[in-house]
Chains A and B, each alone.
Chain A
Amino acid sequence: EPEVTQTPSHQVTQMGQEVILRCVPISNHLYFYWYRQILGQKVEFLVSFYNNEISEKSEIFDDQFSVERPDGSNFTLKIRSTKLEDSAMYFCASWRQRSNTEAFFGQGTRLTVV
């Protein structure tokens, strides 16, 4: 069964440091997303990415965040200068096409900012 793979599973970083979270979406999928989930809270949309550009982003996705798909397989989320409140689970998701019925989520990366 195809799956979305995320690395690392857990990342601890000091406040102010840059982190890069990595995702390998399902190979024939075209739409890619990042979501985050603060402990015990709901899953929140961060950004969607299609055709090598951001198609939509939420208010959470400010200038500290960026995404890219550098090599056609990896999809990365970069946080330039982490804050304590960035501590959360970050989930990557991919869809094959807009009318597809299922978005596949990765297992997540737990980011802890200390």
Chain B
Amino acid sequence: QQQVKQSPQSLIVQKGGISIINCAYENTAFDYFPWYQQFPGKGPALLIAIRPDVSEKKEGRFTISFNKSAKQFSLHIMDSQPGDSATYFCALGDNQGGKLIFGQGTELSVKP
């Protein structure tokens, strides 16, 4: 049973373009929605996160948009750079046990 569905599976973007990755979830018990970035051979690292009381959060070139009624959230990477090439995971979290449920991942490739 997939609790979170992430799309697309892979994404190729030109340098300077906008990368958009989407996640949809079912269970409304979650109240923490992070995005993690993972480079090959490394552990996931928190990129940006949002809680359901806001609809958007921006940190530098990275923005999360959150639609509570649609149970969807997305990551936007503005002015994408080759150094952004990595795998991105959305996740669902809660304050009960702290565990994270990850999406399937999106492999982003930014072409120079």
Which residues of A line the B interface, CB within 8 A? 4, 31, 33, 35, 41-45, 48, 55-56, 91, 93, 95, 98-99, 101-108
Contacts and interface: CB of A to CB of B under 8 A. Distances in A.
Given A42-B89, A99-B95, 6 more contacts: A43-B36, A56-B99, A98-B96, A103-B46, A105-B45, A107-B43
A33 to B, nearest CB: 6
Interface residues of B, number: 23
25 contacts: A31-B98, A33-B100, A35-B100, A41-B105, A42-B89, A42-B104, A43-B100, A43-B102, A45-B101, A48-B98, A95-B98, A98-B96, A101-B32, A101-B46, A102-B49, A103-B46, A104-B46, A105-B36, A105-B43, A105-B44, A105-B45, A107-B41, A107-B42, A107-B43, A108-B43
Contact of A33 (B41, B95, B98, B105): B98
B103 A42 contact: yes
Interface in B41-85: 41-46, 49
Contacts of B32: 101
B102 A42 contact: yes
Contacts of A99: 95
Of the listed residues A43, A55, A98, A104, the one surrounded by the most CB atoms of chain B closer than 10 A to its CB is A43
